[in-house]
């Protein structure tokens, strides 16, 4: 039996029968596998080197069809008979030893009465094809990843990285995948993005610091992690991968290894056997390269933003001079700071922004920079006030790449502070040189303070020099009564670090000066005393003046306490804070009980409102106000005080306190009231004749009516209508007489204590009710103009009537006197009123020829009269003037074309105005 028969027998696990003992028709092929088939496709014989690798065991009783030799998934390729397969390539998979399939490709051709199938091994070809397909898939994914990372926004970059990691992990079934980038804040690496399958352990977290274990790996090729890979010595690396298998794929650029693609719980040989190291590095490059570029771009933008922000905060910016030196390019922020509309401008335009005092020096330095490469550093002023810039420049590069660049830094604050500091130092030096105060320094030596410096003002003030005032001599020149205080001053200075004391020091003439000593102790970094710095201020005059003030205040206190006037202080809400003895006496309490008492509690509501209104009108320019106030004191009738207030204001002009002085004006006020009442009664006396006429006139009418009624009764001719008419006439005359008598009673009583609101027209009506009939009876024509307006004034209506009566009676007497000398004279008196926004004016005018101009100035003086002796008292106009003034008005007189013209001017009440 040939070797082929033996192999086929072993393959079929039986000895071939004699009928099938065929000759070796295939000969001895050099390679591959050769199968001889019958017309039905059954294998008769196998030859070739690959027949020893077949793992198929077929039955031995008969030849097997080709379907029994190949793996199931190849059956479609061998359907039919060998005659049907001729001219077609056949890819067949045979079971091999160890369970590994054999991938063979062949064809059939006729061979005698059978068919010869020649097959060769195409495993390497299939492996290359799979690797090529995997490589193409890997390249497509890498391109997609790079495109996604480059196209996405910086805001979505983290989420896109996570999406691409998930795509890689799902494509090659990687349980745990992460990307590690260099840690910006520490040495080592940090997880920038990760993906974890739902059933895989989470080896890493976003942002997790990995330290430096990855630095021990070779960054030129993917590194497989695990004991079977020979990396047992890298225990820290294995710990990073959770002591499980893994793959670390590096990404390198010109900076070295800058990223690692970490595959955890993963063996590349199992999960992606067809991916080569270059494929893994391509994936890492596609993921890390664009990502690092975007991150660097983001960092670059951030640095630019920080730089622009810093330039904006510092007021700085770059500038670049063109090669020919004719134009300059400015940073946008710098151009805005210089108030320029463009960033590229001629050099002369830029230099025009510089102050003329610094312009030529800057031009010269720029020329030296351009021609000789001398570095530029110069402080210049702008044409704007108080604007300083530091201009620096240098040559960058060489040859054709040579550039003239620099920056401008706003140093206005620093320069202005330097100027202010220099001015302050100059003022301080001048102050030290010219100040009357003595500035001194005492150095600290073993617990003692020894004088080491005195300013030049020591000599003019005390006549001593530094060598005259060592520690012992200084203590000897202190006034004996003040030495204890001086030594206590030294101890307090060392204990507390600062002191303020006052003592007397003898000068070279033997006179003592009061010195105000203020000192501060200076310490080093360890807190140990170094020296004391202080000053002596001669306060001799101030001390003597303070003593005089103290004595003056004592005299003032005695004056205030013993003064008969009422002196007090109170807040704007009328709460007393101080009061002297006379005020306490009036208020029936002690001076100690006055603080906290409401001064307005003794005022009526009207008086209190007027009082507060007067205080509200006080200003820093007009802080004083004087008025008469009426109070209802405890157990007394109304009292009148003449009260003078002076306001005290704070820095904002707000009233904080009121200082007041008052005197009791009650007796004077009562005398004035008695005088007014006396004048009023005198006026009634002077009107007696006219009043008698006013009463007799209705009596005569009533008498005539009664006589006529009695005559009719005597004749028996009495009619009801006649009697009714007469009785009505009698009743009208009774009312007329009663009205006159009632008004006389009202007019004759004392005025109200509080001023009241009244209409001046009421006073005119009352005056006419008393005088009209009498005037007309004596032939005086009254010209009364109706008042077309209704206003209210504050005062006393009866007193205004008294003024009007005085004026009309005086006018009547003057008119009747003139008629005696001129019987043809026709006297008249005119009364009319007018008003403006703030005042009402009542005019009383006659045609009596007027008043002698020489007497106009004296007409309102008390007891002055032009009437004969025994006829007038001389008080009517004086009292009238006082009445009008007391109501806040003014009474005046002047001559008109016909006679005298008196004007009563009264203020309209504020609510009416």
Tell whether 284 and 400 lie within a shared domain. Answer: no
> Are 273 and 333 in the same domain?
no
Q: Which tokens in the block code for residue 196? A: 């974890």
The pLDDT of residue 693: 55
426 occurs within a structural domain: no
User: Domain boundary residue among 417, 448, 467?
Assistant: 417
Is 554 contained in some domain? Answer: no
Residue-averaged pLDDT of the chain: 80
889: domain CATH number? 3.30.565.10
Return the SS3 of 249.
strand
Answer yes or no: do 753 and 644 share one domain.
no
Mean pLDDT check: name the lowest of 78-92, 509-523, 825-839: 78-92
Q: Taking the mean position of all CA atoms in its chain, how far away is CA 483?
A: 55
Confidence of residue 54 (pLDDT cuts 50, 70, 90): confident
Is 316 a member of any domain? no
Q: Give the chain's domain count.
A: 6
For residue 906, what pLDDT is reported? 92
pLDDT 10s digits, 763-784: 888 888 777 877 887 888 988 8
Residue-level pLDDT at 301: 82
Flag whether pLDDT at 609 surpasses 80: yes
Where in the sequence is the domain holding 193, given as residue range(s)?
149-301
Report the range of poorest mean pLDDT among 375-384, 570-579, 688-697, 833-842.
688-697
Residues facing 579 on adjacent strands: 568
The tokens describing 704, both together, are 């005539």
Residues 716 and 833 in one domain: yes
DSSP, residue by residue, 435-482:
-SSEEEEEEEETTEEEEEEE-TTHHHHH---GGG--HHHHHHTB-GGG
Mean pLDDT of 704-728: 74
Lowest mean pLDDT, pick from 549-553, 573-577, 621-625, 660-664: 549-553
Give residue 520's pLDDT: 93
User: For position 415, what pLDDT does the model report?
Assistant: 83
Query: How far, in Å, CA of 655 to CA of 63, rounded?
Result: 132
CATH number at residue 493: 3.30.450.20
State percent of the chain over pLDDT 90.
13
Say yes or no to pLDDT of 904 above 90: yes
pLDDT, greater one: 718 or 325? 325
Res. 684: pLDDT tops 70 = no
Beta-carbon-side half-sphere exposure of residue 194 (alpha carbons within 13 Å): 20
Rounded Cα distance between 461 and 455, Å, is 11
Give the residue with greater pLDDT, 678 vs 71. Answer: 71
Does 26 score more than 60 pLDDT?
no
Residues 397 and 442 in one domain: no
Range 442-470 average pLDDT: 87
Domain termination site, one of 544, 571, 594:
544
Residue 696 is predicted with a pLDDT of: 60
Res 184 pLDDT > 60: yes
pLDDT computed for residue 6 by the predictor:
37
Strands 638-649 and 655-664: antiparallel
Same domain for 679 and 660:
no
- pLDDT for 874: 57
Q: Note the pLDDT of residue 3.
A: 38
**Per-residue model confidence (pLDDT) at position 629:** 80
Residue identified by tokens 């007018």 is 834
Last residue of a domain, one of 121, 136, 163: 121
What is the pLDDT at residue 419? 82
- List all residues 6 or more positions away from 684 whose beta carbon is below 8 Å from its beta carbon: 691, 744, 747, 748
**pLDDT tens, 327-355?**
888 888 788 888 887 778 888 888 888 99
**For 17, which DSSP code?**
P
pLDDT at 9: 34
Based on the domain organization, do 283 and 256 belong to the same domain? yes
Please, which residues have CB within 8 angstroms of residue 842's CB and are 6 or more apart in sequence? 760, 764, 804, 831, 832, 833, 903, 904, 906
Query: How far, in Å, CA of 621 to CA of 397, rounded?
Result: 74
Looking at residue 79, which CATH number applies to its domain? 3.30.450
pLDDT tens per residue, range 381-428: 888 888 888 898 998 888 777 888 888 888 888 888 888 888 887 777
Distances (CA, A) of 615 to 570, 610, 828: 11, 9, 47
Angle at CA of residue 204, ends 201 and 208, nearest 5°: 160
Q: For 197-206, what is each residue's pLDDT tens digit?
A: 988 888 899 8
Residue 74 included in any domain: yes
User: 120: exposed, middle or buried (C-beta count within 10 Å: 0-12, 13-18, 19+)?
Assistant: middle
The residue among 129, 124, 131 whose CA lies nearest residue 278 is: 131
Question: Given a cut of 90, is residue 756 above it in pLDDT?
Answer: no
330 vs 343: CA distance, rounded Å? 5
User: Within a domain: residue 239?
Assistant: yes
- Of residues 208 and 667, more confidence is placed in 208
Write the pLDDT tens digit of every residue in 262-278. 999 888 888 787 788 88
What residues contact residue 219 under an 8 Å CB cut-off, 6+ apart?
A: 250, 252, 256, 257
Where is average pLDDT lowest: 317-331, 700-714, 855-869? 855-869
Residues 813 and 751 in one domain: yes
Q: Please write the tens of the pLDDT for every residue from 59-70.
A: 445 788 887 788
Q: Are residues 267 and 227 in the same domain?
A: yes
The domain that contains 277 carries what CATH number? 3.30.450.40
Do residue 750 and residue 864 come from a single domain? yes
Percentage with pLDDT > 70 across the chain: 82
For 123-156, the pLDDT digits (tens) are 777 677 777 777 788 888 888 888 988 888 888 8
Answer yes or no: is 134 within a domain.
no
Instruction: Decide if 885 is inside a domain.
Output: yes
> Count of H helices and E strands in the chain?
24, 34
Predicted pLDDT at 522: 92
Distance between CA 558 and CA 563 in Å, rounded? 8
pLDDT at 614 over 80: yes
Same domain, 748 and 850: yes
Q: How confident is the model at residue 4 (pLDDT cuts 50, 70, 90)?
A: very low
Establish if 430 belongs to a structural domain: no
83-126 tens-digit pLDDT? 888 888 887 878 877 667 777 888 888 988 888 888 887 777 76
Does the pLDDT of residue 373 top 90, yes or no? Answer: no
Across 214-234, average pLDDT? 71
pTM of the model: 0.38
Residue with the bigger pLDDT between 460 and 15: it is: 460
pLDDT of residue 67: 77
Whether residue 652 sits in one domain with residue 679: no
């Amino acid at each position: 039996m040939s070797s082929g028969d033996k192999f086929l027998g072993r393959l079929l696990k039986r000895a071939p029968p004699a009928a099938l003992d065929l000759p070796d028709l295939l000969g001895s092929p050099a390679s591959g596998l050769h199968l001889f088939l019958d017309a039905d496709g059954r294998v008769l014989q196998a030859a070739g080197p690959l027949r020893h690798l077949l793992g198929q065991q077929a039955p031995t009783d008969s030849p097997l069809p080709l379907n029994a030799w190949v793996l199931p998934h190849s059956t479609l390729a061998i359907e039919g008979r060998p005659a049907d397969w001729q001219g077609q390539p056949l890819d067949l998979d045979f079971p091999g030893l160890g369970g590994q399939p054999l991938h063979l490709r062949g064809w059939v051709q006729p061979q005698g009465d059978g068919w010869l199938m020649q097959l060769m091994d195409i495993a390497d070809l299939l492996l290359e094809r799979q690797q090529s397909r995997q490589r193409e898939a890997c390249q497509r994914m890498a391109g997609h990843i790079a495109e996604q990372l480059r196209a996405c926004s910086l805001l979505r970059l983290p989420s896109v990285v996570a999406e691409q990691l998930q795509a890689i992990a799902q494509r090659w079934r990687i349980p745990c995948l992460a990307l590690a980038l260099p840690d910006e804040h520490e040495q080592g690496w940090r997880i920038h993005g990760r993906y974890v399958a739902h059933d895989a352990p989470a080896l890493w977290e976003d942002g997790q610091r990995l330290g430096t274990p990855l630095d021990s790996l070779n960054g030129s090729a993917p590194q497989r992690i695990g004991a079977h890979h020979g990396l047992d010595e890298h225990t820290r690396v294995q710990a990073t991968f959770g002591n499980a298998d893994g793959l670390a794929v590096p990404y390198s650029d010109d900076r070295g290894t800058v990223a690692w693609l970490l595959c955890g719980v993963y063996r590349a040989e199992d999960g992606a056997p067809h991916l080569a190291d270059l494929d893994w590095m391509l994936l890492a490059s596609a993921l890390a390269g664009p990502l690092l570029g975007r991150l660097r771009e983001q960092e670059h933008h951030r640095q630019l933003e920080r730089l622009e922000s810093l330039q904006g905060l510092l007021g700085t910016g770059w500038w670049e001079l063109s090669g020919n030196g004719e134009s300059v390019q400015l940073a946008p922020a710098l151009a805005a700071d210089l108030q320029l509309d463009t960033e590229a401008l001629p050099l002369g335009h830029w230099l025009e922004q510089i102050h003329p005092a610094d312009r030529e020096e800057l031009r010269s330095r720029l020329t030296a920079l351009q021609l000789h490469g001398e570095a530029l550093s110069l402080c210049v002023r702008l044409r704007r006030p108080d604007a300083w810039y530091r201009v620096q420049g240098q040559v960058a590069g060489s040859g054709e790449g040579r550039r003239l660049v620099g920056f401008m830094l706003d140093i206005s604050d620093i320069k202005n502070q330097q100027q202010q500091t220099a001015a302050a130092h100059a003022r301080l030096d001048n102050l030290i040189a010219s100040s009357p105060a003595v500035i001194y320094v005492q150095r600290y030596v073993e617990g003692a303070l020894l004088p080491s410096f005195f300013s030049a003002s020591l000599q003019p003030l005390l006549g001593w020099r530094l060598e005259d005032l060592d520690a012992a001599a200084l203590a000897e020149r202190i006034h004996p009564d003040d030495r204890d205080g001086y030594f206590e001053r030294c101890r307090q200075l060392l204990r507390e670090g600062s002191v303020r004391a006052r003592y007397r020091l003898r000068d070279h003439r033997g006179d003592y000066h009061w010195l105000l000593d203020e000192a501060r102790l200076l310490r080093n970094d360890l807190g140990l005393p170094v020296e004391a710095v202080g000053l002596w201020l001669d306060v001799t005059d101030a001390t003597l003046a303070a003593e005089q003030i103290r004595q003056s205040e004592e005299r003032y206190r005695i004056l205030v306490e013993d003064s008969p006037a009422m002196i007090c202080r109170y807040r704007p809400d009328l709460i007393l804070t101080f009061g002297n003895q006379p005020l306490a006496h009036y208020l029936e309490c002690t001076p100690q009980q006055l603080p906290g008492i409401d001064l307005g509690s003794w005022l009526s509501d009207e008086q209190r409102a007027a009082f507060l209104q007067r205080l509200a009108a006080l200003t820093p320019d007009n802080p004083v106000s004087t008025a008469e106030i009426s109070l209802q004191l405890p157990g007394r009738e109304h009292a009148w005080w003449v009260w003078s207030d002076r306001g005290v204001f704070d820095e904002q002009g707000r009233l904080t306190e009121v200082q007041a002085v008052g005197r009791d004006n009650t007796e004077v006020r009562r005398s004035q009231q008695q005088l007014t009442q006396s004048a009023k009664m005198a006026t009634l006396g002077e009107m007696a004749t006219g009043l008698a006429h006013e009463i007799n006139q209705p009596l005569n009418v009533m008498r005539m009516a009664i006589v006529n009624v009695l005559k009719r009764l005597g004749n028996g001719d009495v009619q009801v209508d006649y009697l009714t008419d007469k009785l009505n006439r009698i009743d009208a005359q009774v009312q007329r007489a009663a009205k006159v008598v009632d008004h006389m009673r009202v007019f004759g009583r004392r005025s109200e204590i509080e001023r009241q609101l009244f209409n001046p027209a009421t006073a005119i009506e009352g005056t006419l009710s008393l005088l009209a009939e009498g005037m007309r009876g004596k032939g005086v024509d009254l010209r009364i103009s109706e008042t077309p307006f209704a206003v209210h004034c504050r005062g006393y209506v009866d007193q205004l009537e008294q003024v009007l009566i005085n004026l009309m009676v005086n006018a009547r007497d003057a008119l009747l006197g003139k008629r005696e000398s001129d019987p043809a004279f026709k006297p008249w008196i005119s009364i009319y009123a007018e008003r403006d926004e703030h005042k009402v004016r009542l005019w009383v005018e006659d045609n009596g020829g007027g008043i002698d101009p020489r007497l106009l100035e004296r007409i309102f003086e008390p007891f002055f009269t032009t009437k004969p002796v025994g006829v007038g008292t001389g008080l009517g106009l004086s009292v009238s003037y006082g009445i009008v003034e007391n109501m806040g008005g003014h009474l005046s007189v002047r001559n008109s074309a016909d006679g005298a013209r008196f004007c009563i001017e009264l203020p309209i009440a504020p609510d009416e105005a």
